[in-house]
A and B are shown apart, each in its own frame.
Chain A
């Protein structure tokens, strides 16, 4: 079945540095990918919708200059957390829309810890 891969699964970075998280659809082309953030014991909060070849659409309250999203190909979207701060520490999850928009598949998530 369709698989979405996220990398890295865990990353620790120093405050003020930037970190990139990759999201790949492994056996299908995804024109639309979604990025979510999840705090402990809470549901997924949509950050942005990423469309291949165009600028991402950010949800209200999400800083687009801080969370840079690039969807350069039909199988890869990246989220870059710039000038990270400890409050950015969270679980980040990507998802990709399967062909026909019938199903949304999720990656395994990436734990970001900013120290």
Chain B
């Protein structure tokens, strides 16, 4: 069965302190791995889609990478406005549905 885990559960960074969030997954056939940002009380906001191992995508201070077993979301020089929960999701061919990880709650302290 498709599974997605994320680590750490929560991360507290000083402004400007770069770090990475991890998403580990098991899926029989990967159609896409998604990263989302979610602010409290709101729906997830799309960040990236990755399709195959070795792929990388960047957007402002965020960079997502993908291997056959995991994905990383690198945050470079974060700012307080980057504070949010970051969700990883996998869209597999076996079950034809999107499975979400539990998320990483990121807090960036000024």
Known: A43-B103, A106-B46, A107-B43. A101 touches B97 (CB 8 A): no
For residues 70 through 104 of chain B, which have their beta carbon under 8 Å from a beta carbon of chain A? 87, 89, 91, 96-103
B45, B49, B87: the one within 8 Å of A43 (CB): B87
Chain B min CB distance to A90 (Å): 12
Contact partners of B36 in chain A: CB under 8 A? 106
Contact, CB under 8 Å: A101 / B91? yes
The chain B residue sitting closest to A111, CB to CB, is: B41
Contact partners of A95 in chain B: CB under 8 A? 44, 98
Is B63 part of the binding interface, using a Cβ–Cβ cutoff of 8 Å? no
Task: Say whether chain B's binding surface is mostly helix, strand, loop, or mixed.
Answer: strand
Contact, CB under 8 Å: A34 / B100? no
How many A residues touch the partner, as a band? 20 to 34
Is A44 part of the binding interface, using a Cβ–Cβ cutoff of 8 Å? yes
Is A108 part of the binding interface, using a Cβ–Cβ cutoff of 8 Å? yes
Task: Say whether chain A's binding surface is mostly helix, strand, loop, or mixed.
Answer: strand
Kindly name the residue among A6, A103, A106, A108 whose own CB sees the greatest number of chain B CB atoms within 10 A: A106
Is B25 part of the binding interface, using a Cβ–Cβ cutoff of 8 Å? no
Is A74 part of the binding interface, using a Cβ–Cβ cutoff of 8 Å? no
User: Can you name 10 A-B residue pairings with CB atoms under 8 Å?
Assistant: A34-B97, A43-B103, A46-B99, A46-B100, A93-B44, A95-B44, A101-B91, A102-B49, A103-B49, A107-B43
- Mark A residues whose CB is within 8 Å of B: 6, 34, 36, 42-44, 46, 49, 91, 93, 95, 101-109, 111
Q: Which 7 pairs show the lowest CB-CB distances between chains A and B?
A: A109-B43, A106-B43, A108-B43, A106-B44, A44-B100, A43-B102, A43-B100
